């Protein structure tokens, strides 16, 4: 849509704690500097953007990532490829720069237990928080959606969650960090080639601050990442039961319904979310109806710790 301009786009907030619909843009075409700057501004405000009626298969999705900082390979996929493991489905792209999230098995039929995590319910998480420099954002384009709409994606606003965190909890987490569990994937399966951890000492993963700065706004956001049943992600300065209880309280607070918006997918939707300020989860997918999503990650910058940047924080 060569006529796309700042004047012709529409922005409709979801009415929930985050998210907005953007109308009047064809993301497969070129984006002017002015339009891109406006999109980045809108994105900083709403954290999750939905663009309906897009056609963004394969190369087109990769081209789009270039406007937002370029792509980075997914941590789990990179690991599979480094180990010489094949694709989950013979239809999946071998290009390491993007992947399909799908409930199709190797032969292309919908399945309750495909390889990979394309069919299962996924708990709240921030993408790839188990790597040192997680991706800034995720682009997910819905090519095929199950007939019953299952596999909804839910998002929660972690800037708001931090703002409304009781002062007593803010004081407790101030200056603290977490070791993010890299032993299991987002569907709670032990990573290929790995071993299930038995104690906290077995947890391998990067150290991230519990609160990070969201660079576009300078605001603080809770950064909980992902957590499975014990032993999993833990608080570096507070291991053991005390830390577990604190994390229980933080997760319960951060995922309250008042911080959530639910994406009910329509084929052609492109969703962009900001992993620096948003967690997301997915409901289970209908095992007999195909779901094919194209995903690319936007290259991250090192996590900006709220503890190192007191001046930038509130
Ligand atoms: Fe995810």
User: 10-24, 66-80, 173-187 — which is least confidently predicted?
Assistant: 66-80
Ligand 1 centre distance from Cα of residue 275 (Å):
9
Q: Domain count for the chain, please give it.
A: 1
- Per-residue pLDDT, averaged over 299-312, amounts to 84
Q: Which distant-in-sequence residues (6+ apart) come within 8 Å of 145 by Cβ?
A: 151, 265, 266, 267, 291
Ligand 1 centre distance from Cα of residue 226 (Å):
10
Between residues 113 and 90, the one the model is more confident about: 113
Give CA–CA dist 281/186, Å, rounded. Answer: 9
| Host domain of residue 46 | 6-312
Ligand 1 centre distance from Cα of residue 48 (Å):
13
pLDDT tens-digit readout, 201-222? 999 999 999 999 999 999 999 9
Q: How confident is the model at residue 309 (pLDDT cuts 50, 70, 90)?
A: low
Residue 128 lies in a domain: yes
Ligand 1 centre distance from Cα of residue 281 (Å):
7
Q: Which helix (H) or strand (E) holds 158?
A: helix 158-163
Ligand 1 centre distance from Cα of residue 292 (Å):
15
Q: How confident is the model at residue 81 (pLDDT cuts 50, 70, 90)?
A: confident
pTM for this model (two decimals): 0.94
Ligand 1 centre distance from Cα of residue 157 (Å):
15
Per-residue model confidence (pLDDT) at position 313 = 46
Q: Which distant-in-sequence residues (6+ apart) come within 8 Å of 252 by Cβ?
A: none
Q: How confident is the model at residue 311 (pLDDT cuts 50, 70, 90)?
A: very low
Task: Find out whether 222 and 188 touch, Cβ atoms under 8 Å.
Answer: no
Ligand 1 centre distance from Cα of residue 280 (Å):
6
Residue 1 lies in a domain: no
Residue 33 lies in a domain: yes
- For the chain, give the mean pLDDT: 92
Residue 92 lies in a domain: yes
Per-residue model confidence (pLDDT) at position 310 = 55
Query: What SS3 state is found at 242?
Result: helix
For 148-158, letters b (16+ CB in 10 Å) and e give: eebbebbbbbb
Residue 173 lies in a domain: yes
Ligand 1 centre distance from Cα of residue 7 (Å):
33
Ligand 1 centre distance from Cα of residue 303 (Å):
18
pLDDT tens-digit readout, 31-60? 999 999 999 999 999 999 999 999 999 899
Ligand 1 centre distance from Cα of residue 186 (Å):
7
Residue 86 lies in a domain: yes
- Per-residue pLDDT, averaged over 262-280, amounts to 98
Ligand 1 centre distance from Cα of residue 236 (Å):
24
305 DSSP assignment? B
Residue 208 lies in a domain: yes
Ligand 1 centre distance from Cα of residue 128 (Å):
8
Q: Work out the percent of the chain whose per-residue pLDDT is above 70.
A: 96
- Per-residue pLDDT, averaged over 65-80, amounts to 85
User: 84-88, 192-196, 239-243 — which is least confidently predicted?
Assistant: 84-88
Alpha carbon 3 to chain centroid distance?
31
Residue 172 lies in a domain: yes
Alpha carbon 95 to chain centroid distance?
20
Ligand 1 centre distance from Cα of residue 4 (Å):
30
Q: Environment class of residue 280 by beta-carbon count within 10 Å: exposed (0-12), middle (13-18) or buried (19+)? A: buried
CATH label of the domain that carries residue 145: 3.60.130.10
């Amino acid at each position: 849509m060569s006529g796309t301009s700042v004047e012709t786009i529409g922005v409709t907030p979801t009415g929930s704690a985050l998210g907005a619909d953007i109308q009047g843009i064809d993301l497969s075409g070129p984006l002017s500097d002015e339009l891109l700057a406006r999109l980045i501004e809108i994105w900083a405000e709403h954290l999750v953007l939905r663009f309906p009626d897009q056609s963004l298969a394969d190369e087109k999705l990769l081209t789009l990532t270039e406007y937002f900082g370029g792509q980075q390979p997914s941590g789990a996929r990179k690991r599979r490829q480094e180990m010489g493991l094949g694709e989950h489905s013979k239809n999946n792209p071998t290009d390491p720069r993007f992947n399909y999230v799908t409930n199709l098995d190797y032969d292309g039929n919908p399945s309750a237990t495909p390889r990979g995590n394309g069919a299962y319910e996924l708990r709240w998480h921030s993408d790839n928080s188990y790597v040192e420099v997680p991706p800034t954002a995720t682009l997910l384009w819905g090519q095929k959606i199950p007939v019953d709409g299952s596999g909804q994606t839910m998002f929660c606003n972690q800037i708001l969650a931090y703002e409304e965190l009781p002062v007593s909890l803010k004081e407790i987490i101030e200056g603290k960090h977490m070791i993010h569990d890299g032993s299991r994937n987002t569907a709670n399966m032990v990573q290929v080639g790995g071993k299930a951890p038995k104690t906290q000492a077995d947890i391998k993963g990067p150290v991230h601050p519990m609160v990070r700065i969201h660079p576009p706004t300078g605001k603080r956001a809770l950064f909980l990442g992902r957590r499975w049943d014990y032993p999993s992600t833990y608080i570096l300065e507070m291991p053991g039961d005390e830390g577990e209880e604190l994390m229980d309280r933080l997760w319960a607070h951060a995922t309250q319904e008042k911080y959530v918006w639910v994406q009910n997918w329509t084929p052609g939707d492109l969703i962009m979310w900001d992993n620096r300020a948003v967690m997301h989860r997915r409901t289970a997918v209908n095992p007999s109806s195909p779901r094919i999503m194209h995903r690319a990650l936007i290259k991250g910058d090192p996590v900006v710790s709220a503890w190192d940047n007191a001046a930038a924080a509130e």
